[in-house]
Amino acid sequence: MGTQPLKERILIVGAPAFAEDLGGLFLEQGYPTAVLTCEGEVPSTLSPALETEARSAALALEVLPSPLEAKQTLIAILDQALPPETPLLSLCLTVSATQVASWTRRPGRVVGFAALPPLTRGAPAELAIPLSGDSTALKPAKAYLEGIGLQIEVVRDAVGMVLPRILCALINEAAFAVMEGVASPEDIDTAMKLGTNYPRGPLEWGDLLGLDLVVAVLDALEAEHRNGAYRAAPLLRQMIRAGHLGRKAGRGFYPWS
């Protein structure tokens, strides 16, 4: 029997909720994959490992939703260390691909990526090219992600793209309904599941995503569009202050063991 050819090296860096799911999907398909996680500030200890892994990567995915200062730092390190031909996918939940591309010396290799955890086989994901870029990186990026089982749609570049934008707005409206005493979280979620055939209610979905991520997306949309329709419900901000972030914190709109 002949040996299978070695697959290209993949580098994934960013928030654990995204990086670990994506890393698992690539590893299942036999790709040598480096997963480097960080949240909030980019630790100085990450830079040497990041630069080393980037030099041999055939594909890099930066998946840090926020803050933008840390995201820009990661992009700068990757842009400097990656081979010139390596596509750079950037998670565009709180920023556009065009903005990310403006932080690089090679905007043509940047592809915007939007998806929401949990990322499993069959999950939807969106790709967009920046206005300052071109489509050369789009084809390999799409092929890689389809190869690990994601359902890819190519959309126009915009903050939050499609599913994250609409879903976070829906979660926000449900949070307003709770805050105003319209109904309990359980009743709101039951009504939405029965009335719309959603797989889960919006508040349960918010808990699964992380309420801090939901508010980060809403804040970015409000800043981008100057539209009060994306103003985050005060209840969401209060829950974040209390540490009730959802499943990852053990408590959100629901208790999580």
Cα torsion for 228, 232, 237, 243, to the nearest 10°?
A: -160
DSSP string, 188-201: HHHHHHHHH--SS-
DSSP string, 17-32: HHHHHHHHHHHHTT--
Q: What is the pLDDT of residue 4?
A: 43
**Cβ atoms of residues 254 and 185 within 8 Å:** yes
Alpha carbon separation from 9 to 30, 106, 140, 144 (Å, rounded): 10, 20, 14, 11
153-189 tens-digit pLDDT: 999 999 999 999 999 999 999 999 999 999 999 999 9
**Cβ atoms of residues 97 and 109 within 8 Å:** no
The residue among 191, 193, 211, 199 whose CA lies nearest residue 252 is 211
Q: How many whole angstroms separate alpha carbon 44 and alpha carbon 161?
A: 31
In degrees rounded to 5, what are phi and psi of residue 91?
-70, 120
DSSP string, 137-166: THHHHHHHHHHTT-EEEE----TTTTHHHH
Q: How many whole angstroms separate alpha carbon 157 and alpha carbon 36?
A: 26
Checking 24-31 for CB contacts under 8 A at 24+ apart, the result is 25/119, 25/120, 25/121, 25/148, 25/149, 25/150, 26/148, 28/148, 29/147, 29/148, 30/4, 31/7
Give 89's strand partners: 61, 111
The pair of structure tokens assigned to 238 is 């209060």
- Extract the residue ranges of the chain whose pLDDT is less than 70: 1-6, 133
Domains and CATH numbers, the chain: 10-154 (3.40.50.720), 163-249 (1.10.1040.10)
